[in-house]
Structures are given as C-alpha cells and as structure tokens.
C-alpha cells in the first residue's frame, strides 16, 4: 500500500516507521515547509493519506485530499465544527474518510468502558462527574479530542448533564457548571496522554483512567485503519473497524 503522510512531526515519524515495518511504501512526507510537493503526485500514486497535522491546517488538507479522490485517515483534533462539511464532501466525491479522536485500541476500549460506567451511574446524581486530561506541552488544542469523545459518551448516558466545560491549568471553568461535565486540561512535560474519569460523592469516589506510555499505540491503530480503509468508500470511525 502507498501512503502519503500529511504532518511529519513526532507522530508522523512514528507512523512512518510502523508503516515501513508492515511493508508499506511512503510516497510523501508533507509538513508546512513542503506542502506544494503534493501537487507533484498523481492521483493514482496514493492509496491512503494519513493526516496528523495541526488544527490550523487540517481542514484545508482534508479538502485538498478529498478533491484528489484520496482516501484519508485523520487523527488531527480541534476542527470538528467543520466535520459535517468534510463528510458531505467525501460522500459527494465518492471517496473514503476515517476519523478518530484516538487510534489506540486501548483507548477505544476505554471509550466503551466509560459509556458502561455512565449507564450504571445515571440513577445516582449524588455522584459528581468530572474529568482530567494530561498531555505534553506541544499539544495545541484543549481539551483533547479524546476527552471530548469521553465527555460525549457521558452526556449520552447522564440525563442531568447537558454539556462539557473546560478548565485549564487549574483555572475554574467559566460560568455555572451544575449541568456541565468539567474537563481539567493539563499540559506538562512529554506526557503522551492520560485521561481520568471520576464520579465522586461525599463518601467515596469511583475512578477509571487510561495512561498511554508512548505514541506506539496511536500510530499502530492509524496504520491498521489505513489498511482497512484502502478498499472502501464512505465515512468511517473506530467503531466500524473494531466491529469487524
């Protein structure tokens, strides 16, 4: 399979090594310094694009790739207000798009555990739900896409909560948060990603967490998603992949 890497930071380099180990070919490594190099690739030169760039660049990148008819696996977060537009363009073009806020198999199992716990807790409003996500200082968006996915899983199962709100670096979330799930976003060191969901009452606390030790889990999942997507058309996510 031929892969175009869009975004060639630490994650892009990790994905590259795993793809090469799995006998795939990298036909391009694109970042802000050489974006014009994509124009030199023919439409049939690329089987799948793996896009891990930045919130500022991702939408333009996706529009470009969809216009070329390339299948895209996207792991960039911080752009989902325009997701409906991108998915409509994919369907109109007849191409393929795979998005996940997190490609780690362990995290996606954690998503399911989170929903199950919320279903257990929805009859016990005396427990206050909150979240903490911790990432390296180079991560640009807050809260993380993974944290938002976790919050959405909680909101779908906790009728007394209607939104999420973010606090950053110890600052309280703005406004009245009685109906909100507060996400504390922390940026420190080189942390690959830690997510904690807690339900706390006056007498005890229930807590689940996922701690990533490195980027390997995210990168392996992205390459597996690319392999899965290469022969398909449509809009997909990790539930589609894990369902098989």
When pLDDT is cut at 50, 70 and 90, the band that residue 83 belongs to is: very high
Beta strand pairing call for 205-211 and 128-135: unpaired
| Helix (H/G/I), strand (E/B), else coil: 123 | coil
Is 145 annotated in a binding site? The answer is yes
pLDDT at residue 167, rounded to an integer:
87
Residue 244 pLDDT > 60, yes or no? Answer: no
pLDDT band at 141 (very low <50, low <70, confident <90, very high): confident
Domains of the chain: 2-103+216-243 (3.40.50.720), 105-211 (3.30.360.10)
Residue 152 CB coordination number (10 Å) = 16
Element (H, E) at 150: helix 145-155
Token pair 């406004």 is found at: 175
Query: What confidence tens digit (pLDDT) does each residue in 201-233 have?
Result: 999 999 999 999 988 999 999 999 999 999 999
pLDDT value of position 170: 63
Q: Is 215 exposed, middle or buried (0-12, 13-18, 19+ CB in 10 A)?
A: middle
- The answer to whether the annotation marks 167 as part of a ligand binding site is no
Residue 142 or 51, more confident: 51
The overall longest dimension of the chain from CA atoms, in Å, is 63
What is the percentage of the chain residues whose pLDDT exceeds 90?
A: 84
**93 labelled as ligand-binding?**
no
pTM of the complete model: 0.79
Q: Would residue 135 show up in a list of annotated catalytic residues for this protein? A: yes
Q: Considering the chain, what is the average pLDDT of its residues? A: 93
Q: Is the pLDDT of residue 145 over 80?
A: yes
> Is the confidence at residue 73, as pLDDT, over 60?
yes
Of the residues 10, 119, 135, 171, only one is catalytic, namely: 135
Whether 100 has a binding-site annotation, put simply, is yes
Q: What's the pLDDT at 140? A: 78
Indicate if the pLDDT at residue 46 is higher than 80.
Answer: yes
List pLDDT tens digits, range 195-207. 999 999 999 999 9
Closest CA relative to residue 185, chosen from 127, 129, 140, 128: 140
- Asked if residues 185 and 133 have their Cβ atoms less than 8 Å apart, the reply is yes
Residue 136 annotated as binding site: yes
């Amino acid at each position: 399979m031929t892969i175009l890497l869009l975004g060639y930071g630490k994650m892009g380099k990790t994905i590259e090594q795993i793809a090469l180990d799995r006998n795939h070919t990298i036909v391009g490594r694109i970042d802000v310094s050489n974006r014009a190099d994509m124009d030199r690739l023919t439409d049939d030169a690329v089987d799948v694009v793996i896009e891990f760039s930045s919130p500022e660049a991702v939408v333009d990148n996706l529009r470009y790739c969809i216009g070329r008819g390339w299948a895209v696996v996207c792991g960039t977060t911080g752009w989902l207000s325009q997701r409906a537009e991108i998915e409509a363009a994919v369907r109109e073009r007849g191409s393929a798009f795979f998005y996940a806020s997190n490609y780690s198999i362990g995290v996606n199992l954690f998503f399911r555990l989170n929903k199950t716990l919320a279903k257990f807790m929805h009859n016990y409003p005396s427990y206050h739900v909150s979240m903490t996500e911790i990432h390296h200082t180079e991560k640009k968006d807050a809260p993380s896409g993974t944290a938002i996915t976790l919050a959405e899983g909680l909101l779908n199962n906790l009728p007394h909560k209607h939104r999420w709100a973010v606090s950053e670096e110890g600052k309280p979330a703005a406004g009245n948060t009685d109906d909100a799930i507060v996400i504390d976003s922390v940026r420190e060191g080189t942390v690959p990603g830690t997510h904690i969901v807690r339900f706390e009452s006056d007498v005890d606390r229930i807590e689940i967490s996922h701690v990533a030790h490195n980027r390997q889990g995210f990168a392996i999942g992205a390459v597996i998603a690319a392999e899965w997507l290469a022969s398909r058309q449509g809009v997909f996510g990790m539930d589609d992949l894990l369902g098989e």
